Structure 1
Amino acid sequence: MKNLELYIHIPFCIKKCDYCDFLSGEASAFEKKEYIRALLNEIKYQAYDCEDYEVSTIYFGGGTPSTLKAQVIDSILQEIYKYLHVKKDAEITIECNPGTVEREKLALYRLSGINRLSFGLQSANNQELKMLGRIHSYEDFLESYDAARKAGFENINVDVMSALPAQTVISYEITLKNVLRLKPEHISAYSLMIEKDTPFYERYSEDEYIRAAGGKPKYLPSEEEERRMYKLTKELLAEHGYNRYEISNYAREGYECKHNVGYWRRENYIGMGIGASSLFENTRFHNTDIMFEYRKCNFEREDEEVLTKKAQMEEFMFLGLRMTNGISRADFKEAFGMEIEGAYGPALAKLTSEGYLEKREGRIFFTEAGIDVSNTLLTEFLL
């Protein structure tokens, strides 16, 4: 049976963070109940196309999935187990905000089959958390993390963010060291992006400043400070035994996030829930992003696009080169019936001569210098 990944979107938050542009927000108990009813129906609906597939990973994202009762999460998983073929060793992840889980909820997660947690810490500095509009403190995170370990979870990710308002290189270093002391199996380290239609976009316009109490200007970190934070992340995590397996993701050996690796390798995945995206047999589509329509059980595919061979090649390169072990020549030839040089010879030669690409043992991957400027370099692989 072919591998299939599932993404389950839970769009509810206690409070939406000021930097967040995801499809999420606050909701009443009735709205949540109606959404879950529709989601359970979608699982049955999508299962008809997935009879010949085996689910290797399930990922609950949001929003904040952990705001729901554990029994609700269990009901979703039971419906998945009932209608789809789920591998016995499937990786099942749920995103959790600190302060939204306690030992009993976590114990129920484990009984439901969840075996991986992802905590959105972002910063160990309470002032920085307040600037982000987070609802938790660092102390809340420590309590939640400790409860997770006591509940028996042995695969935990912690998200951290750099280039935050009023953040310094020193305060970011303290966050990293505090997280490293806890020895999570996985760390995702992202730089803040200011997205349109968020409070941050209005707050940090081209002038890039905020005014703290008393009107004193507090600038966003400079480009030089951002570079220092980026370098610090690589060095500190490497010193503590974390392998950088993707541009923003680090893991102890054997704890790479299988779900995300599947995205980068273009595995088939189905997204369920409002606005969720899918890639199924080289066809991309997404669900409606209108809550009223979704709750009416409108599961029609929107913006469906059957990818051309050219588009598939581009995705193969764009996504695969995000990983530090890059792409396989053999996989390219098997997928497209040609040697990789037949499509990308000049680009590969150019980037290799400039020291940005390396070729070894049948694989092609970015060097450290290439990873640092990968967003720019990936345009070389547009056909």
Structure 2
Amino acid sequence: MKKDLGLYIHIPFCVKKCEYCDFLSWNAGEEERQQYVAALLSEIESYREFAKGYRVSTIFIGGGTPSVLLPKQMEDILQKIYEIFELERRPEITVEVNPGTVDEEKLQCYKENGVNRLSMGLQSVKDEKLRLLGRIHTYQEFVESYELARKAGFDNISIDLISSVPGQTLQEWKEELETAAAQNPEHISVYQLIIEEGTPFYEKYAEHPELLPDEETSREIYLWTGKFLKEAGYEQYEISNYAKPGKESRHNLKYWERGDYLGLGLGAASMVRNIRMSNTKDMRTYLERCDKPKTMREDVQFLEEPRQMEEFMFLGLRKTRGVSKKEFKRIFGREMDMVYEKALHKCLENGMLLEHKDRIFLSEEGTLLSNMVLSEFLFDL
């Protein structure tokens, strides 16, 4: 019987790198983009034998900004995937798009080639905040792109927003989220700004936390977000993600539920049969070895059972429905209460975790302090 598989395809190009972004991406000319697409097609082709053991249920094309590619380039990538991999009857196929890089022709191409979900990088509805973040588009350009996507027939659209940006107040955030939700997308991701080392934002704000919303404001923003979106018909299903019923990101759920997924493209990460690995981040190496993936892998790690248990807990607890004791025993043959007796007792006792029937999940307070709570489930190996 074929195993379930998700595919992640990385497109490392963008028009301009945002001020907060530490992803593997840069602005590239048409020749470099075409070289990369050709290499990506070779890498996909190299998995022909591997693919025989799997059936793909989700595809996520991310970046960077995949929508900078020409329609023909995107078509070639998708058609090569369909040639090599068997897909389930109703797969979820997502492409990340950014306003200002997508038009009617591209959207029509996506639709004709099986894409049924778009993830749109809005980030803010206020033009001054978009400029601060280093985005290339205005809010009006987002609205135009969004309306084009609806006109093209996309009925499953996710939008990304960033909260707790410099100078933001709770009232400003309320106005932002109300405006964004009024567009009525099927899915909303809200990521609290993290100041990542090596970014322009790190240079500006790492030593000036007073320019960012304080801890209490960020807390209020987070709690109000969940309350407002619930009233607007969205269910929070993960720490940063909200969806209308049945519109959760099936691909992202694979990450949190430790399903198998294969990363294709520069720097793409995979988790297959409890082996975690990444492709090289060096473009020259990738172009030279794209047809022999084993020769360009980095950080290859087989997860022994203790690491698998850790991931089951700290990834699974990111979901609002948490983790199942029965599922833990089915996978590992051991009782969760025995393996994590101290951690569970401590976190249930201090109210960071809650228990209902078979499931353990974060409380509201536990969600706010999630990094601290999740660290309780790491073994001292």
Q: Which residue number in structure 1 is paired with residue 239 of structure 2?
A: 247
Q: Is residue 203 of structure 1 aligned with residue 199 of structure 2?
A: no
2: distance between equivalents of 1:151 and 1:344?
Answer: 50
2: distance between equivalents of 1:70 and 1:265?
Answer: 33
Q: Is residue 309 of structure 1 aligned with residue 305 of structure 2?
A: yes
Q: For the Cα contact (< 8 Å) 2:51–2:84, is it kept in 1?
A: no
> CA RMSD, aligned part only?
1.1
1:44 Cα deviation (Å)?
1.2
Q: Is residue 48 of structure 1 aligned with residue 49 of structure 2?
A: yes
Q: Which residue number in structure 2 is paired with residue 85 of structure 1?
A: 86
2: distance between equivalents of 1:33 and 1:154?
Answer: 30
- 1:66-104 deviation line (CA, Å, top 9, x unaligned): 011122111101001101111120000000101211222
1:167 Cα deviation (Å)?
2.1
Q: For the Cα contact (< 8 Å) 1:21–1:195, is it kept in 2?
A: yes
1:23 Cα deviation (Å)?
0.3
DSSP-derived class of the 2:320 partner: coil
Q: Is residue 101 of structure 1 aligned with residue 97 of structure 2?
A: no
Say which is worse superposed, 225-234 or 188-197, in terms of deviation.
225-234
2: distance between equivalents of 1:293 and 1:370?
Answer: 43
1:328 Cα deviation (Å)?
1.3
Say which of 345, 363, 374 aligns to 1:367.
Answer: 363
1:170 Cα deviation (Å)?
2.1
Percentage of matched positions with identical amino acids: 49
1:250 Cα deviation (Å)?
0.3
TM-score, length of structure 1 as denominator length: 0.95
Q: Which residue number in structure 2 is paired with residue 270 of structure 1?
A: 262
Q: Is residue 130 of structure 1 aligned with residue 131 of structure 2?
A: yes
- 1:159-206 deviation line (CA, Å, top 9, x unaligned): 011111222222211110011111110000010011011111111131
Partner amino acid, structure 1, of 2:171: I
Q: Which residue number in structure 1 is paired with residue 70 of structure 2?
A: 69
Alignment of 1:164-243 (within 5 A): 164-208=165-209, 219-243=211-235
Say which is worse superposed, 332-341 or 248-257, in terms of deviation.
332-341
Q: Which residue number in structure 2 is paired with residue 286 of structure 1?
A: 278
Alignment of 1:133-152 (within 5 A): 133-152=134-153
What are structure 1's unaligned runs of at least 5 residues? 210-218
TM-score, length of structure 2 as denominator length: 0.96
Say which of 338, 341, 348 aligns to 2:337.
Answer: 341
DSSP-derived class of the 2:62 partner: strand
Q: Which residue number in structure 2 is paired with residue 60 of structure 1?
A: 61
DSSP-derived class of the 2:289 partner: coil
Q: For the Cα contact (< 8 Å) 1:125–1:171, is it kept in 2?
A: no
Partner amino acid, structure 2, of 1:330: K
1:48 Cα deviation (Å)?
2.2
1:351 Cα deviation (Å)?
1.1
1:282 Cα deviation (Å)?
0.2
Q: For the Cα contact (< 8 Å) 1:128–1:166, is it kept in 2?
A: no
2: distance between equivalents of 1:50 and 1:235?
Answer: 43
1: distance between equivalents of 2:126 and 2:335?
Answer: 50
2: distance between equivalents of 1:382 and 1:165?
Answer: 33
1:50 Cα deviation (Å)?
2.6
Q: For the Cα contact (< 8 Å) 1:128–1:167, is it kept in 2?
A: no
Would you identify which runs of 4 or more consecutive aligned residues in structure 1 move more than 4 Å?
none
Q: Which residue number in structure 1 is paired with residue 315 of structure 2?
A: 319
Q: Which residue number in structure 1 is paired with residue 18 of structure 2?
A: 17
